[in-house]
Structure 1
Amino acid sequence: MKQMNVTARQNMNIQTKQDVMKWFEALFSAAWVQRDTTSAGIALGNIIPLYGAKTAAMETFCRLLWGIFPVIAGNNQHTINIADVFRLIAEGTDPENENYWGDLTDFDQRCVEMTVLGGGLALANSEFNKYLSDDETEKMVVWLNQLRAVELPRNNWSFFPIIVEMGLCLSGHPYSQQVIDMHFARLDSYYLGEGWYSDGHNRPRDYYNAMALHYYGLFYSKLMAERDPERCKILRERASAFATDFLHMFAEDGAAIPFGRSLTYRFVQVAFWSAAAFAGIDTVQMGVIKGLVLRNLRWWAQQEMTDHRGTLTVGYSYPNPTLAEDYNAPGSPYWCCKTFLILILDETHPFWKAQEETLPDSRRIVPLVHSGQLVHHDRINHHHYALNAGQLPAKNYNNAESKYCKFAYSSLLGFNLERSRFGIELNACDSTLLLSEQDGYYRGRRASTESITTDDHIFTRWSPWPDVDIRTWLIPLESGHFRLHIISTGRPLESVEGGFPVPLPDFSQPVFDDQKCLLINHQNHLFSNIMDLSPSCKRESTMVISPPGSNIIFPCSSGVPILKYDIEPGIHILASLVNAGKGEFQECRESPEIQVGENQVVIKTNRTVYEFNISCK
């Protein structure tokens, strides 16, 4: 099989199983040649996470195995030396070998990475028997059994011991049903209904629903259907319900709405759909599932996500360490290999036989109530984005406010990452309302004291200072969206409200219209507009230029149209019409009418009349 070059952005025509296989083999080979004989892993760089260099090298290797096991279980033609792969497994799980991965401790990253060996035993046990001796297999099983005795975070990690025990069970080794039952009980306690989990009690509802909680659930439901039919039925029902929501996170070109942490895992965004095909979920037609997976892979194949060696980098659409989490190592992005589960499906499987279908016709506005989002398919502006109520993870993840708390997230324009709290240019002011005590340090929405997501609007209440109370409404329109903020403040503040970011690859090209607060990038045919509709004040319109590497999709500087206004102590009403997209800018087709009463604001759009209570209670 001819090797594919993955060292540069290219329009790969990924349409067939062979195309996907070539891409995986190219990604695997580029990483595999970086290994050395001093560890049972692959060290790709010198950024060392808290869990150390040895475990980081193990992580790279183990994450590649999420693709290797489907490849060998699916009897695919390939050039990978499988015997060498199993040598590393044998070395890493042998306590007498100098390359031993080590004994587990509580909350250990190795608990994450060992999971793939459970999956491998379930999918390809015959290959373990072929390449490992009985003694090596026994040592591996003893090493896996350590997972029963350590403490794990109370979140999606509960699936790791489940998958390991499942692998032991299906490969004929002693396993613990008690461990399986205990961890499923924990996971059930995180279930919110209608297909949605939180990633632990009162934790985020983000891509971990798809790439972890449902992915492993579908994996289990397919392989344990005969042994655990009741539980597998529940897992499939939950995933089926989730699927009808989750498909709205993808645009027609395959791009997904970036939101939340761990975005550097890139096309793990569609791992759920690979698992859905593997498990035979039929809530969404197989041709639609195939289209979701392959369009997303094609979108990613056009991004600059590899270095000169062809190895994946930490970042999103380009190498960008600013995006990294504190648990990311150089090899962390290879968790995208979970998407290659489709390689276990033979050519006659309905997934490969189906014609690739476009997304089904959908409503213009789709509420995702459990994640606090309204997905807007803005067909007028060719813009696919989600209005967002905001979530605050219990752990203070890197750039959590940029990743979870903005008013909107766009598959077309991405979002900006904060570089500093000082100075508006570094503050990632896109899709936010930022406030400052005129000292250059800004605060935006972080935690909300109230949050309501309905079928046609989002309401949140937040307090950046003890004496500042802000109520925010987000309303999607036929094109663009309307924002309303009622601010009660006991202190004077500078306010800055931003629209969507637009890339500025050439400063001589963009056009900014300060009358409309409109930024146009003619080179990429993109625009962003935020129009002030405040009933009792006039805000200044200008543009902020964020530094290169701020936006997660575009590596160049980005421009954000903003509205500025100085607020005195008291109650203030700020309103705006926000519009962005691709193609020629068009004036918004509706301009909401605002009527302010003593305790009520009435918003009249072309379709709906909204009445909001604005009393201070």
Structure 2
Amino acid sequence: MLARIKRRLKKQFRRPLDPDLLTPVRAKLTSPLDHDLSPHTGWTRQHWDELAGIILAGAAGFFSPGRAYVKVPGHDTLRDPRIDGLEGFARSLTIAAPWFHREGGTHVSPEGESVDLLEFYRTGLRNGTNPQHPEFWGSAGDFDQRILEAADIAWSLFVARKHLWDPLSNDEKESLTAWLTGANGKSVKINNWVLAKVMINVVLRALDQPHSEEEIGDGLALVDEFYVGDGWYQDGLTEGYDYYNAWMFHDYLLKFTLIDGALGSKRNAYIRKRSARFLEDYRHFFAANGSQVSFGRSQTYRSAALGPVVMGAMAGGLGLEPGLARRLASGNLKFFLDGGMLAKRGNLTLGFTRPLLPLIEGYSCGGSPYLLGRAFSALLMPAEHPFWSATEEPLPVERGDYSLAVSVAGLILDGEKQGGHVQLVNHKSTSLVDGRQEKYGQFTYSSHFGYRVATEQSGHPPDSSLLVSRDGKSYSGRDKPFHLQASPGFGSSFFLPFGGDKTVVFTNTIFCDHFQLRIHQIVSTAPFSVIEGGYALGYDQGAPSAQSGPDWEFVGDGKRGSFIRRLVGFDHGRPASVPDGDGDAHLLAPHSATPGVGLRLGNHRQILLVSLVRGCLNGETPEDLASFVGKVESGHNWMTVTLANGDALFTQIGTVSEREVAVNGVRLSGRTVYARVFADGTIAAHYLDHSVS
């Protein structure tokens, strides 16, 4: 894998590549652990300060001679090359600006040479905004990335005013203001970008500089149109619901309320209320290992996902207890630090944990991962702040099991205390910016299993996906899910694997005691074949053990295992095998293996397919997993399953009709899409009109 990334980077840059840029290291922090204050992570504010210094020391080695660019090799975009260097400067500055408030000075020592990082950034601000300087950043145009990076520079000026803004001469302030206001009047993408001009202008207002109240008002009005409820914003006019809700919308909006200062205003009150509602659910996205469930685009931003947690703490918590907020945040940073986010040269790697170039979008460059500066706003809070002084509290998944739905976003979360595992099902979100299917099109995403990333060699990976083929050779998966329903433990949607209406796949997913039941109805006018995969089990070396049973496939490595059982419709198993050569690119590990099931090519017309899927962390055997489901009955659009514990499940899919059915001796009636009848006769039912009983 490392050799493949090196080959691609050499071709892209057309210059020799330093392998140390891609060699991950597990940096050991020297700050003493405090397990009394932080029983889960041991981390204190000192660890955050030390880690910020390490990241900044690494970035210092990539400054341009005029200090206006931080050009980190790793992946060039097709934009003006100056913008990639500006991105590295602006985003790393969001780490430096809070760090400058420390008592330990502003010097770092890249490659053993002590440099004043504060002077580097001051010089860069002077030269980057001077049209006569060779390293001038250039003026913003329509739909220009400079506008987005200017927003981060503006935030940094506000929080480190005495370090960055006050020392500038009047002429330098005028040049910097002129460069920032160059964004005004320019068109931006109608999505999270609209907040960039809000940030720029509210900071300029706070600095008593020329600004546009119209840009502030227009931007906030557009964001209000994006709001769909329960703390969630759609990313523009698409069905985009992902971590941009955290690291752009809520992060920027909470920063706005801090800069605006009018905390009692009606506008700021509803911004904070929406963020509080978001954090109420958002804490459930984080697993005991520290990771958020990786899902959606721009996953190389990593701990930028902590933005609303940190800003929420600065705003008084917003319902998130300070000990819980720090446990979540410290655990997340520790997860990525241990996972390989730092390279031997000191740069942040392009990937989720380790370097993984196939994961990276075309708009990302070597400076993109420094958006994790969102997390380091925490250093603006003094040591006595409750965020730092409260004793760590356990995450929701460390307190107990849960099943939670973010219905407006079509997302369902399942938390399992034993193992600290969090799973996420997507029945709605998609992206027009990066439409690669594995980032949105998989049915389930996992904090511990990750997923395979598509490469030119692999096509759409089969893990956690249903792939359909018209010829048995070329397969297509779910690109855009058309949302039908999402409620705790149950969701439904449909998709068009070939884009037209000749083949339609309806899918119901049921979480039941952390197992997934996936029910599909495929309606097609042409012959087709099908592949469905369980989780991709990532591993470092030494192939895991693959086993096949009468109707199941399993692959295990120690206590971890990925299991899939065919219950209805599928006609064969697909034993777990290691992808060949460059075809394997897994989010968390160099290699992976995926168990699967399939349906051979035929003129099926309309068929019901049902599988049972489990990702396990506690050493379960495939025989034990297979025994979870007992008797199965089905028709062309319905299924009843009796579980080993005596509970029974019923679901309808596709065209849901008025139906009377006896389940576990209990008669159900109406347009029931899903019901669980417990062994004691109690019922939990979901209906077509979204009502629940």
The question of a shared fold, defined as TM-score above 0.5 by the shorter chain, is answered with yes
Aligned to 2:649: 609
Query: Given the superposition, is the C-alpha separation of residues 508 and 431 from structure 1 closer, same or farther in structure 2, using an over 3 Å criterion?
Result: closer
**More moved, 252-261 vs 38-47:** 38-47
Aligned to 1:114: 150
Tell me, yes or no, if structure 1 residue 68 matches structure 2 residue 96: yes
Contact 2:226–2:233 under 8 Å retained in 1: yes
Q: How far did 1:405 drift?
A: 1.0
Aligned to 1:9: 26
Contact 1:128–1:137 under 8 Å retained in 2: no
Tell me, yes or no, if structure 1 residue 297 matches structure 2 residue 314: no
Out of 518, 526, 535, which is 1:500 matched to? 535
1:344-493 matches, cutoff 5 A: 344-360=380-396, 361=399, 363-379=401-417, 383-395=421-433, 397=434, 400-420=436-456, 426-465=459-498, 466-493=501-528
Out of 529, 537, 552, which is 2:563 matched to? 529
Query: Given the superposition, is the C-alpha separation of residues 450 and 165 from structure 1 closer, same or farther in structure 2, using an over 3 Å criterion?
Result: closer
Q: How far did 1:509 drift?
A: 4.3
Tell me, yes or no, if structure 1 residue 79 matches structure 2 residue 107: yes
Aligned to 1:561: 595
Instruction: Give distance in 1, aligned partners of 2:486 and 2:656.
Output: 21
**More moved, 268-277 vs 547-556:** 547-556
Q: How far did 1:289 drift?
A: 0.3
SS at match of 1:481: strand
Unaligned runs of at least 5 residues, structure 2: 1-22, 34-41, 109-115, 658-693
Query: Given the superposition, is the C-alpha separation of residues 592 and 152 from structure 1 closer, same or farther in structure 2, using an over 3 Å criterion?
Result: farther
Contact 1:90–1:140 under 8 Å retained in 2: yes
Instruction: Give distance in 1, aligned partners of 2:68 and 2:179.
Output: 15
Query: Given the superposition, is the C-alpha separation of residues 379 and 356 from structure 1 closer, same or farther in structure 2, using an over 3 Å criterion?
Result: closer
Contact 1:604–1:610 under 8 Å retained in 2: no
**More moved, 450-459 vs 587-596:** 587-596
Contact 2:472–2:528 under 8 Å retained in 1: no
Tell me, yes or no, if structure 1 residue 233 matches structure 2 residue 269: yes
Query: Given the superposition, is the C-alpha separation of residues 563 and 310 from structure 1 closer, same or farther in structure 2, using an over 3 Å criterion?
Result: same
Instruction: Give distance in 1, aligned partners of 2:102 and 2:220.
Output: 29
Q: How far did 1:72 drift?
A: 2.5
Contact 1:380–1:479 under 8 Å retained in 2: no
The amino acid of 1:411's aligned partner reads S
The amino acid of 1:601's aligned partner reads M
Q: How far did 1:406 drift?
A: 0.3
| Matched pairs, number | 605
Tell me, yes or no, if structure 1 residue 223 matches structure 2 residue 256: no
Deviations 1:145-166 (A, max 9, x none): 1111211101111111111111
Q: How far did 1:565 drift?
A: 1.5
Query: Given the superposition, is the C-alpha separation of residues 287 and 607 from structure 1 closer, same or farther in structure 2, using an over 3 Å criterion?
Result: farther
TM-score, scaled relative to structure 2: 0.83
Contact 1:541–1:561 under 8 Å retained in 2: yes
Tell me, yes or no, if structure 1 residue 581 matches structure 2 residue 621: no
The amino acid of 1:543's aligned partner reads A
SS at match of 1:302: helix
Contact 2:24–2:355 under 8 Å retained in 1: no
Tell me, yes or no, if structure 1 residue 58 matches structure 2 residue 98: no
Q: How far did 1:48 drift?
A: 2.2
TM-score, scaled relative to structure 1: 0.93
Q: How far did 1:601 drift?
A: 3.3
Contact 2:52–2:99 under 8 Å retained in 1: no
Aligned to 2:11: none
Contact 2:68–2:121 under 8 Å retained in 1: no
Contact 1:549–1:557 under 8 Å retained in 2: no
Q: How far did 1:11 drift?
A: 5.8
SS at match of 2:554: strand
Aligned to 1:3: none
The amino acid of 1:378's aligned partner reads E
Q: How far did 1:176 drift?
A: 1.8
Instruction: Give distance in 2, aligned partners of 1:429 and 1:562.
Output: 8
Out of 629, 634, 657, which is 1:591 matched to? 629
Contact 2:546–2:576 under 8 Å retained in 1: no
1:144-163 matches, cutoff 5 A: 144-163=180-199
Q: Alpha carbon RMSD of aligned pairs, Å?
A: 2.3
Contact 1:250–1:256 under 8 Å retained in 2: yes
Q: How far did 1:74 drift?
A: 5.9
Tell me, yes or no, if structure 1 residue 41 matches structure 2 residue 41: no
The amino acid of 2:25's aligned partner reads A
Q: How far did 1:310 drift?
A: 1.3
Instruction: Give distance in 2, aligned partners of 1:171 and 1:522.
Output: 57
The amino acid of 1:184's aligned partner reads L
Q: How far did 1:190 drift?
A: 0.1
Q: How far did 1:367 drift?
A: 0.9
Q: What's the % identity of the aligned pairs?
A: 24
Instruction: Give distance in 2, aligned partners of 1:414 and 1:327.
Output: 22
The amino acid of 1:263's aligned partner reads Q
Query: Given the superposition, is the C-alpha separation of residues 548 and 54 from structure 1 closer, same or farther in structure 2, using an over 3 Å criterion?
Result: same
Contact 1:165–1:176 under 8 Å retained in 2: yes
Instruction: Give distance in 2, aligned partners of 1:46 and 1:533.
Output: 45
The amino acid of 2:311's aligned partner reads A
SS at match of 1:149: coil
Instruction: Give distance in 1, aligned partners of 2:585 and 2:515.
Output: 21
Deviations 1:18-47 (A, max 9, x none): 111111111111111222315611222263
SS at match of 1:144: helix
Query: Given the superposition, is the C-alpha separation of residues 142 and 356 from structure 1 closer, same or farther in structure 2, using an over 3 Å criterion?
Result: same
Q: Which runs of 4+ in 1 moved over 6 A?
A: none
